[in-house]
Amino acid sequence: MKGGNRPDSSYSVELDKIFNPKNIAIVGVSSAGFGFGSGILLSLLAIGYKGKIYAVNKNGGEFFGFKLYKSVQDIPSEIDFAIISVPAELVPASLEACRLKGAAGAEILSAGFRETGTAEGAKLEQEIKDISRKGIRVIGPNCFGIYCPKSGLTLLPGPDLSREEGPVAFLSQSGGMAIDLAHIGKWMGIRFSKVVSFGNGADLRETELLEYLQHDPDTQVICMYIEGVEDGRRFFETLKKVAATKPVIVYKGGLSVSGHRAVESHTASMGGNRIIWESALRQSNAIQVNDMYDMAHTALGFSLIPPGKYSGVAVTGGGGALGVLSCDLAERFGLMLPELENGISSKIMEALPKPGSSAKNPIDVANPMVHPSVLREALVGAAQDTRIDIQVLIQLLYHYKSMAMGLGKPLKEVVPYMELVDMIQEVRSGTGKPIVLVLPNLKRDNENMDVEEIIRETRSKAVERNIPVFDDIKDAFKTIAYVSRYYSNTKIYKDKEDETKGSV
Amino acid sequence: MKGGNRPDSSYSVELDKIFNPKNIAIVGVSSAGFGFGSGILLSLLAIGYKGKIYAVNKNGGEFFGFKLYKSVQDIPSEIDFAIISVPAELVPASLEACRLKGAAGAEILSAGFRETGTAEGAKLEQEIKDISRKGIRVIGPNCFGIYCPKSGLTLLPGPDLSREEGPVAFLSQSGGMAIDLAHIGKWMGIRFSKVVSFGNGADLRETELLEYLQHDPDTQVICMYIEGVEDGRRFFETLKKVAATKPVIVYKGGLSVSGHRAVESHTASMGGNRIIWESALRQSNAIQVNDMYDMAHTALGFSLIPPGKYSGVAVTGGGGALGVLSCDLAERFGLMLPELENGISSKIMEALPKPGSSAKNPIDVANPMVHPSVLREALVGAAQDTRIDIQVLIQLLYHYKSMAMGLGKPLKEVVPYMELVDMIQEVRSGTGKPIVLVLPNLKRDNENMDVEEIIRETRSKAVERNIPVFDDIKDAFKTIAYVSRYYSNTKIYKDKEDETKGSV
């Protein structure tokens, strides 16, 4: 509870220093073999950390051009931040040495503490807590550390994470989940301010970090993976406060009977009761998700879809069942596909190929290989209907494969993917209504790697223009529904909306 | 209702001839440009149809080495089956000509009938019905036809579908859904007996085809995509009868308000009421799914998981949150992860790397790059617990990427994927308990195409050994749950089980 007793400003300064260290000591860099210490050092170099790194190994020597200091004391300057990866029994002494060197904080990658269920592990963890109270903040133990592209910090197994910074923060009790979301984010287009894997959370953990993120100007969307909280009441009070200004997406693990057992051996947490958790999350206006991809999609949605209530959706795509499917799915997520006004519908029909097309909503362009210039007419038209709040465009790019084979050309020359993303960007800015792109791939056999490549290429171009892309229409609808529900329930946004209405 | 008045044996003979034609007339093969007729001809050649093809075009000439007969009458022999792709107004005359040539059936690819909502369209469709009653069975109009790998028939846009035959049939009112499932099946490992896209269903449609499949020895699992049925009572009676002997997976489109509207313009059907449909499907012991991938996963599950009740699941994988997640998800689908017996658990622990591993269930092997020989110990051990009915193995192959980069080797040389599938096959046959493999890919950026390739390669090797593979653990659990529920509710299976128990 020490965090709770400190004034905001004090621990903000400490955490700012931890997230933006001018130098780092890595304690436990083995000069031989493949250890956590050498691994994190190489990861920091790979991702381009620009500060000074001091590497420590009790035997001295050299690693990768780095002098290995025999002890933390030998480091010839003060340090901002430490990464500790020595055997559990040596951690307390290393942590204390880092504190004496002036480090604001340390991440402890080592495992072998409370999660082992042994008295020895619990004792070692208590020692960490005691040292931390004397004045050094701790991330971990049993964690993967911090990823912060802005300052060049990365997770233990994170040499190849994106270097681009963005609005999403992720607090994760699980290191595996932290690295998973960071990997998914890289290609999906989720850009991060800070990812913190805090493992056993001996010192810094969910509530205090959440409080920090509320005031972090680099963070606009917060994701959390929680196995258990230290102080439920304080956590939910904080969550409610934070969620009133920034969307907080919560994935709570261990709410099942057997999940309980798994969290104990994972991060030494208590799982909690499903009904209590779910109702408390709802009351806090947090967004509860139930798996990793759900969290990723939702984070992407909040990053790229502007705040707003989205009820009426226009869907454009080729292939009739896709239309039926769209309607059924939309309704499942509380969205509507209003039938377009007659005038608009007949105007769109003029542009569509025949027969087989339909422009009522969903707009069925009949053929999956309709050119972006035609799709443009559908999107511009549908946006004119005042009941349409957001548009979903489905493109089955794999159908171009037969065309490419027929023409004897590579797929990349046949699919008008640049025209597609340019068109979407232009229509979106022209109409002021968001557009979400869906790029399913049903041809995932070995002979169709080129289909995968063109879809990835299209996705990455779309992401550059801040167009959210989903594999599946279900994910698109679900995400839109989450975004819409959050803003519908958020006072800060409702007030703004009333203001706008008042001023009209 | 004509189908209903014919004795079983009669229409079986007709349908057998339609699914296995010795020769085919394609009516409407344009010698210039890219039409449906020329498209289906080329598709049949590509997939390797071995019978005789007669191509018809009113102007005569030649296409791709095929003489173009000016009329059906000019074809110098009787015909078994016809594929008609001429403008709607010319369809009735062509159909009548095929009937006179002795064709048992015809698929009509052309659109422009009842689905247009015009009087002219309805009149033309009625003419088709009238001709059909005189003695030729019709698939369509407004459809993609028949895919039957055994006889070499394929759908309109289906030159590259799998040539392997298998136990799954699919009856689809939507051509798009038919081709989509056939494509997904190709890489997922779903092998088909027959796929029928019947579009508007002027003659042959859901009920009669379903009845035929019940007695089709090549079909063990039936999928259906339905927008609307002609005679609800008869359909559900048939469904109940068929589902008592073969699993029937039903995806009902158009159960939402806007979905209703979409089915009208798609296949001229009436959507129906959600509550009535859902309860009738439940009462029939059909498996209701809510999207395409759900249907695909379920079809795969019924193809490759032996009939049985599956309640206790053992999960093996690396990464602790995966364990927590597994438990939570399993419970959501009514499955259990029983804690393994102490003796078994401690035996497995001997083989696992430390620290960080756990062998209670889920079995957390701590590191995603644990060799198949170690995974083997976990799987063999867990199978010894009598409460375990089925096993799920999760392999995060993308983690090998860093190792491959470190070693400077291609991923294919670093991932022990052949050892993995060999090991699974061996353990499955040794223990007699099914094993499902989950291969997520969280590294889907452009620089990691090799990760995608190795996952696809592993999947295809697994599929060759009849090991079902899923992208996601959620899909694996859901599928196991569907399979288990079906057999738990099926009398024929329950009787067998009682018999087995009695004989012990």
The per-residue pLDDT for range B233-288, each reduced to its tens digit, is: 999 999 999 999 999 999 998 887 777 766 666 666 655 688 889 999 999 999 99
The three-class DSSP label of residue B348 is helix
CB within 8 Å of B204: residues ≥ 6 apart: B3, B15, B105, B137, B138, B139, B196, B198
pLDDT digits (tens, 9 = 90+) for A69-104: 999 999 999 999 999 999 999 999 999 999 999 999
| A399 vs B contacts (CB less than 8 Å) | 157
Interface of A with B in 342-381 (CB under 8 A): 355-356, 358, 360-362, 364
Is the N-terminal amide bond of B355 cis, ω within 30° of 0?
yes
Q: Between A and B, how many CB-CB pairs are < 8 A?
A: 216
Cβ of B325 within 8 Å of Cβ of A291? The answer is yes
The three-class DSSP label of residue B81 is strand
d(CA A145, CA A147): 7
d(CA A207, CA A412): 48
**What is the H or E stretch that residue B294 is in?**
helix B292-304
Interface check B118 vs A, CB under 8 A: no
Residue A500 inside a domain? The answer is no
pLDDT digits (tens, 9 = 90+) for A230-286: 899 999 999 999 999 999 999 998 887 777 766 666 666 655 688 889 999 999 999
For residue B367, the chain A residue with the least C-alpha distance is: A176
For residue A189, the chain B residue with the least C-alpha distance is: B445
Residue A499 inside a domain? The answer is no
DSSP letter assigned to residue A336: B
Residue B262 inside a domain? The answer is yes
For residue A294, the chain B residue with the least C-alpha distance is: B474
pLDDT digits (tens, 9 = 90+) for A354-369: 877 889 899 999 888 9
Checking DSSP bridges between strand A221-226 and strand A192-197, what pairing results, if any?
unpaired
Q: Are residues A228 and A357 in the same domain?
A: no
Tens digit of each residue's pLDDT, chain B (504 residues): 334 444 455 558 899 999 999 999 999 998 776 789 999 999 999 999 999 999 999 999 999 999 999 999 999 999 999 999 999 999 999 999 999 999 999 999 999 999 888 999 999 999 999 999 999 999 999 999 999 999 999 999 888 999 999 999 999 999 989 999 999 999 999 999 999 999 999 999 999 999 999 999 999 999 999 988 989 999 999 999 999 999 999 999 888 777 776 666 666 665 568 888 999 999 999 999 988 999 999 999 999 999 999 999 999 998 656 677 888 889 899 999 999 999 999 999 999 988 778 898 999 998 889 999 999 999 999 999 999 999 999 999 998 988 898 889 999 999 999 999 999 999 999 999 999 999 999 999 999 999 999 999 999 999 999 999 999 999 999 999 999 999 999 977 776 666 665 443
Q: Is the pLDDT of residue A413 over 70?
A: yes
Distance from CA of A299 to the nearest CA of B (A): 16
Checking DSSP bridges between strand A66-69 and strand A62-63, what pairing results, if any?
antiparallel
**How many Å is the maximal CA-CA distance in chain B?**
80
Final residue of a structural domain among A302, A333, A350 = A302
d(CA A373, CA B330): 46
Domain count, chain B: 2
Distance from CA of B263 to the nearest CA of A (A): 6
Q: Are residues A467 and A401 in the same domain?
A: yes
Task: Report whether A149 contacts A192 (CB < 8 A).
Answer: yes
DSSP letter assigned to residue A59: T
**Which one of B174, B177, B180, B258 makes the best mutation probe of the A interface by having the most chain A beta carbons within 10 Å?**
B258
Domain span holding position A459: 306-491
The three-class DSSP label of residue B119 is helix
Token code pair at residue B52: 């005789």
For residue B110, the chain A residue with the least C-alpha distance is: A355
d(CA A214, CA A398): 43
CB atoms near residue A120 (< 10 Å): 12
Residue B371 inside a domain? The answer is yes
For residue B368, the chain A residue with the least C-alpha distance is: A176
DSSP letter assigned to residue A10: H
Interface check A456 vs B, CB under 8 A: yes
Q: Are residues A311 and A281 in the same domain?
A: no
Distance from CA of B367 to the nearest CA of A (A): 10
Task: Report whether A154 contacts A262 (CB < 8 A).
Answer: no
pTM confidence score: 0.92
d(CA A380, CA A367): 19
Interface check B275 vs A, CB under 8 A: no
| Identity of the residue numbered A126 | Q
d(CA B87, CA B141): 11
Residue from the list A320, A338, A339 with its beta carbon closest to the beta carbon of B266: A320
DSSP letter assigned to residue A347: H
Interface check B266 vs A, CB under 8 A: yes
Residue from the list B159, B321, B445 with its beta carbon closest to the beta carbon of A176: B321
Token code pair at residue B84: 């008609």
DSSP letter assigned to residue A204: S
**What is the side-by-side strand order in the sheet with B221-226?**
B145-147, B192-197, B165-172, B221-226, B248-252, B287-289
Q: Are residues B271 and B321 in the same domain?
A: no
d(CA A264, CA B85): 64
Cβ of A266 within 8 Å of Cβ of B290? The answer is no
pLDDT digits (tens, 9 = 90+) for B358-400: 898 999 998 889 999 999 999 999 999 999 999 999 999 998 9
Interface of B with A in 378-437 (CB under 8 A): 398-399, 401-402, 406
Checking DSSP bridges between strand B66-69 and strand A137-139, what pairing results, if any?
unpaired
| Identity of the residue numbered A271 | G
Q: Are residues A376 and A284 in the same domain?
A: no
Q: Is the pLDDT of residue A436 over 80?
A: yes
Among residues A310, A399, A321, A382, which one has the least CA distance to residue A348? A382
Token code pair at residue A328: 């059924």
Cβ of A159 within 8 Å of Cβ of B362? The answer is no
Q: Are residues A375 and A454 in the same domain?
A: yes
Residue from the list B263, B327, B443 with its beta carbon closest to the beta carbon of A324: B263
Q: Are residues B336 and B298 in the same domain?
A: no
Residue A503 inside a domain? The answer is no
Residue B429 inside a domain? The answer is yes
CB atoms near residue A70 (< 10 Å): 12
| A326 vs B contacts (CB less than 8 Å) | 262
Q: Are residues A381 and A465 in the same domain?
A: yes
Cβ of B256 within 8 Å of Cβ of A332? The answer is yes
The CATH code of the domain that includes A319 is: 3.40.50.261
